Structure 1
Amino acid sequence: MKSALIIGASGGIGAAVADQLEADRVDVTRLSRSVDGFDVSNPATVARCLDRLDGPFDLIFISIGILAPLTGRPEKSLSALKHDDMARVFQVNTIGPALVLSHAARLIPKDRRAVVATLSARVGSIGDNQIGGWYSYRASKAALNQIVHGAAIELGRSHKESLCVALHPGTVATPFTAEYAGRHKTVPPQEAAENLLRVIKALKPEHTGGFYDYAAKEIPW
């Protein structure tokens, strides 16, 4: 791997992935809302930031997401659903990565292996959902998984060696999860980055379009 584009590079996981790649002497381009004004909820901003990049990138890593808007919390019941909060979660977790993916074909090479990896979450698995709740977050990640799967099919037609996957990083000790980690075992961002990059490096052609965890185990849709 020679070059990588990290979307959400100021967050815990995104920054750790970027740092690890740079330590491995990969040429890393970082984009984030806090540093670059890269606002995934603004299509014009996404287009402006990505159109100025030439690439090609051997890896595009999308590390963006929210559990709930700043004014709300993940819903525990149907009665807690709010239109604006749900729309905001989908705007960031689903539409934002989809807008990035819409630029992927131009930003990855056609003549060699390239990976487009998007952070998803195990709770986005419909088959694995045994306790309910967290409606907006679960649904936004399930929708993202569908987009990733479709993107893998489309990119595979023009970029034969490309891989496009959804990845679950585990519960990572960041401000993102601090209030909700509970009894779940957490890992530091650096360990999560190492796990994810290990999975990315081991991906084979048949894995494109799939949904995998930090240990490379396939997660049910």
Structure 2
Amino acid sequence: MAWTLVTPSSRGIGFALTRHLLRTLPPTIPVVATARSDLPGVKENLLASLELSPKQAARLDVRGCDVLSEPSIEQLAEYCKDRYNDRAKDKNAHLRLGFMIPGMLVPERAPDKIEYESALDTLKLNLLAPMMLVKHFVGFLPRKSTTLEPEDGLPDPAVLALMSARVGSISDNRLGGWYSYRASKAGLGQLVKCTDIFLKMKTGTKAMCIGLHPGTVKTGLSEEFWESTAKEKLFSPEFAAERLLGVVEGLEEANGGRCWDWQGKEIPP
């Protein structure tokens, strides 16, 4: 059985991605979504106005997870293994699509604006949280022996998608600034590459890891820049989710280990 994961899912792009998967995936594909608190409220909001059948709605599984706590991530992984990835019961059980997308932005414009605690928080959430998620979930991706059945709305091969950003590109950095955010996203690029190399060794062509850049999306992370961003370049979370899933569905074997923007164009490291 294939299953999917979006973490976190309570707001922003994660919220929109989860709702899009619920609308478009076959009703047999579970969607695991995470939030730190108010799980019943998050589930209600995720399902609101989607007009799903009872079977479609029932496959949404909202679980608690604090992505800044490795024990919390480990507990989520243990639950998913028992519930969805028990290969003793189903030898082809696998995570087919995982979005691991925590993030925050503190836009320091000069070195003297860097504050230790906020920079540390940025690195923890933007880099260490995805690293710990990869650590505990990469083993759920297909093995070389796994049979991947074609599924509408899901990529083939399986994909771990981490939230990157164009400003994480070192070669594309023309303006400087945003020190902790740029550094965390540049580090994320290495995490993507290392994970993809690992997956090639362990899964052959069955799984890959990529970075995704959604553009400037109207979420709390980018609120400071809404007014200064051209309207045609400020995207809704729903638009970003639809485009990112389109990019993921179109991936080919050679696309792993790299970062792709919402248009499907590669962002250089």
TM-score bracket for the superposition, by shorter chain length: over 0.9
Alignment of 1:1-221 (within 5 A): 2-24=2-24, 25=26, 26-34=29-37, 35=39, 36-54=63-81, 55=85, 56-68=94-106, 74-110=107-143, 111=146, 112=148, 113-160=157-204, 161-181=206-226, 182-184=228-230, 185-221=233-269
Shift of 1:2: 4.8
Is the deviation greater in 169-178 or in 94-103? 169-178
Is the deviation greater in 103-112 or in 168-177? 103-112
> 1-side partners of 2:138 and 2:181: how far apart?
27
Is the deviation greater in 81-90 or in 139-148? 81-90
Q: Contact 2:6–2:32 at 8 Å: present in 1 too?
A: yes
Over residues 30-75 of structure 1, what are the superposed CA-to-partner deviations in whole Å (9 max), with x where a residue is unaligned? 012244442222111111112211232210111210113xxxxx21
Name stretches of at least 5 consecutive residues in structure 1 with no aligned partner: 69-73
**TM-score, length of structure 1 as denominator length:** 0.93
RMSD: 1.5
Greater Rg, structure 1 or structure 2? 2
Shift of 1:109: 2.0
SS of the aligned residue for 1:177 comes to helix
Is the deviation greater in 176-185 or in 211-220? 176-185
Letter in 2 for 1:123: V
Q: State percent identity of aligned pairs.
A: 35
Q: Which residue of 2 aligns with 1:71?
A: none
SS of the aligned residue for 2:175 comes to coil
Moved over 6 A (4+): none
Shift of 1:115: 0.5
> 2-side partners of 1:33 and 1:19: how far apart?
18
> 2-side partners of 1:165 and 1:216: how far apart?
12
SS of the aligned residue for 2:98 comes to strand
Name stretches of at least 5 consecutive residues in structure 2 with no aligned partner: 40-62, 86-93, 149-156
Q: Contact 2:73–2:136 at 8 Å: present in 1 too?
A: no
SS of the aligned residue for 1:176 comes to helix
Letter in 2 for 1:16: A
> 2-side partners of 1:37 and 1:144: how far apart?
24
Letter in 1 for 2:75: R
> 1-side partners of 2:98 and 2:187: how far apart?
20
